Amino acid sequence: MEKENYNIFLVDDHTLFRNGLKGLLEHIGGHKVVAEAADGLEFLEQLPGVSTDVVLLDIDMPRMNGIDAASKALEMYPDLKIITLSMHGDEDYYFKMVSLGVKGFLLKSSEIDEVNTAILTVARGGSYFSQELLRTLVGSLKTAPRNEDSTESLSEREREILLLICKGLSNQEIADTLFISKRTVDKHRANILAKTNCRNTANLVVYAIKHNLVEI
């Protein structure tokens, strides 16, 4: 049976926000906040001694911001699963965070159910983008240059699978939806990553938005 409750490292400089989110995560989500930090430096100092499944990391913090903290943390632990917590207006940082390998993005105004969904999705190996943030990204990318050659290199089946990836489906769920084997989906996914020069699911979501392959 798949694990449903996870250890969380909560990093935010506002004590009231941390306390409130911790209470919701533990009493509603059933997760355990195993460590807390008020800035990026404190987070990095504690990280080696903490066993955590998911990190909830604020962007705007004193001493060291979330971008620099994520970069250093992922250098030390490439498989670390980080969900970024942000306010409206932080959109300029999203692509930087994606390139670093951050797995999820949430607005601080998100409902606890969405936070829980993001944690479960990322802990299981997926990526999670707040729908509200995706809409903002779509708007900010309307005038972005497009690489037509890279989109045209994708086959119809690969485009179909890419859309399902953007919807958050796992390889097995995509296989079930399209009535093909998971092994076939694995091969298509590898081809999509190679053709688009993307490293992970988060990169693929941004790629699909940039090239108008997904509608939010």
* Residue 34 counted as domain residue: yes
Tell whether 111 and 132 lie within a shared domain: yes
24-28, 64-68, 116-120, 135-139: lowest mean pLDDT where? 135-139
Q: How many domains does the chain have?
A: 2
Q: pLDDT tens digits for 49-104?
A: 889 999 999 988 888 988 899 999 999 999 999 999 887 655 667 767 777 788 88
Tell whether 133 and 172 lie within a shared domain: no
From the list 208, 97, 215, 211, the residue with the least C-alpha distance to 148 is 211
Q: Quick one: CA dihedral 110, 210, 140, 62, positive or negative?
A: positive
At residue 124, the 3 state secondary structure works out as coil
Which structural domain range is residue 91 located in?
Answer: 7-139
Q: How confident is the model at residue 134 (pLDDT cuts 50, 70, 90)?
A: low
Tell whether 105 and 133 lie within a shared domain: yes
pLDDT value, residue 89? 57
Which residues, listed in sequence order, are joined to residue 7 by a DSSP beta bridge? Answer: 32
* Residue 149 counted as domain residue: yes
From the list 15, 19, 29, the residue with the least C-alpha distance to 123 is 29
67-71, 100-104, 158-162, 211-215: lowest mean pLDDT where? 211-215
Q: Say what the pTM is.
A: 0.70
Which residues, listed in sequence order, are joined to residue 58 by a DSSP beta bridge? Answer: 85
Tell whether 12 and 80 lie within a shared domain: yes
E-strand spans in the chain?
A: 7-11, 32-37, 54-58, 82-86, 104-107, 128-129
* Residue 76 counted as domain residue: yes
